[in-house]
Amino acid sequence: MKEAALVLELLAERSHTVAAAESLTGGLVAAELTGAPGASRFFRGSVTAYATALKEELLGVDGTLLAERGAVDPEVALQMATGVRTRLGADWGIATTGVAGPEPQDGQPVGTVYVAVAGPAGSDAEAGKVTSLRLNGDRADIRRESVRSVLELLGNELSGNGRAQDTERNGGN
């Protein structure tokens, strides 16, 4: 996936690192990043917090937020990105949360995904950015597009082409 190589190139230019918090992607973001040559210099690691309770326990997502809105929420995605950045000591944190299917979750339909990035102090992304996705396709398509989208979001932030918070777009098949 070209996004992973681009992200690593942009991280190298800044001598920055990244960490990933994943839910629906189940480690696919980490696999994409570590599949690119030179990843060990810029990828700190990942937390796959598939269970909702782990988002609070491992990533510091607010328990009240999770109880009130569920795990498929833009603020949850942002707190996951911030939490993994802090806990793994990275300059940048990225996160994925959503519904890959086959059933709806937390009142959200299949294909509802939030990807987020949280940047270092002093960056435009310090407060974080979230992209809302409404994806089509089967479970594998939704997961694959979620990986591509979170890497694209990070790449845009690193290159100074960040999109507005809470943008929505369709993708997949």
Distances (CA, A) of 76 to 23, 88, 133, 142: 11, 18, 14, 19
Express each pLDDT in 37-57 by its tens digit.
Answer: 999 999 999 999 999 999 999
Beta carbons of 114 and 132 less than 8 angstroms apart: yes
Express each pLDDT in 132-153 by its tens digit.
Answer: 999 999 999 999 999 999 999 9
Cα 32 from Cα 36, distance rounded (Å): 7
- Looking up residue 7, the CATH number of its domain turns out to be 3.90.950.20
Domain count, the chain: 1
Q: What does the pLDDT average to over 65-91?
A: 98
pLDDT range class, residue 162, cuts 50, 70, 90: low
| Stated pTM of the model | 0.92
Q: What does the pLDDT average to over 66-74?
A: 97
Q: Which domain holds residue 164?
A: 2-172
The pLDDT of residue 8 is: 96
DSSP states of the chain:
-HHHHHHHHHHHHHT--EEEEESTTTTHHHHHHHTSTTGGGTEEEEEE--SHHHHHHHH---HHHHHHH-SSSHHHHHHHHHHHHHHTT-SEEEEEEE--SSS-BTTB-TTEEEEEEE--TTSTTTT-EEEEEEEES-HHHHHHHHHHHHHHHHHHHHHT-PPPTTEEEEEE-
End-to-end CA, the chain: 17
